Structure 1
């Protein structure tokens, strides 16, 4: 099952690149904040329609520790960063920069076992992968 998730996350990453490519021109036309709101509005509508046919779990959502909902603050910041950066530095450099930040933070989260993650030690292979992404960031610039 875990191997089947790899193509899924690769395709999701490809979708993020397409999203970044769409956000730049949209932000130039309507403003970065409105572009971000538009993307989240469309996503919220789609998700709402999908959830209409599922069993409600809203009570369970709000009974969780409040810090678990903090990810809702990070999404708009991420999309706004895409909207601002992509027209100036391109989709490639934007995505590799984001990838470097994601992997660096992910290694720390895994190593420490934060946010409910299983602990996975940062070893030389993981550090080498992070270094390779840093080299890619430098090369693509």
Structure 2
């Protein structure tokens, strides 16, 4: 379990770095949409390499996947485009704060109801209080 926590911590560290770098690329080239496209091309190539190395035969099962699960691609596109456009105007910290707040809310709902096959983890008073405390902590980091 510790290795999962470490990987997710690194992924969390990467999100604001990704946002800052892609926003800077968007400013440099004058097009946040083009910067997002470059990000996705690089990500696509990296993911394709990993997929081909770790299990190329699994592509055949893609045809049987429920179509609504492909909406995840639209969600990641929305995230990258929105953070690339908004961070330079709103501030990276503010943008990431609202992303984190949204993640806390949606993660609690997904876990509570077991959406998309997630393990059910009911939202009790203690858990809700912890999420609220996390939200307040993230908000406090943005107060200047």
Alignment of 1:96-115 (within 5 A): 96-115=97-116
The residue that corresponds to 1:16 in the other structure is 15
Alignment of 1:1-141 (within 5 A): 2-30=1-29, 31-53=31-53, 54-139=55-140, 140-141=142-143
Question: Could you tell me whether the CA contact under 8 Å between 1:96 and 1:133 is conserved in 2?
Answer: no
Structure 1 stretches (4+) deviating beyond 6 angstroms? none
Number of equivalent positions: 140
Return 114-123 or 43-52, whichever deviates more.
43-52
Question: Could you tell me whether the CA contact under 8 Å between 2:97 and 2:139 is conserved in 1?
Answer: no
Query: How far is the alpha carbon of 1:115 from its aligned partner?
Result: 0.7
Query: How far is the alpha carbon of 1:137 from its aligned partner?
Result: 4.5
Quick one: higher RCO (CA 8 Å, sep 6+), 1 or 2? 1
RMSD: 1.6
Question: Could you tell me whether the CA contact under 8 Å between 1:21 and 1:86 is conserved in 2?
Answer: yes
C-alpha separation between the residues in 2 aligned to 1:102 and 1:72?
A: 16
Structure 1, gaps ≥5 residues long: none
Cα-to-partner distance string for 1:11-65 (whole Å, 9 max, x where unaligned): 1100111101101111112311111111000000112222333332222012111
Q: TM-score, normalised by structure 1?
A: 0.89
Q: TM-score, normalised by structure 2?
A: 0.87
Query: How far is the alpha carbon of 1:109 from its aligned partner?
Result: 0.9
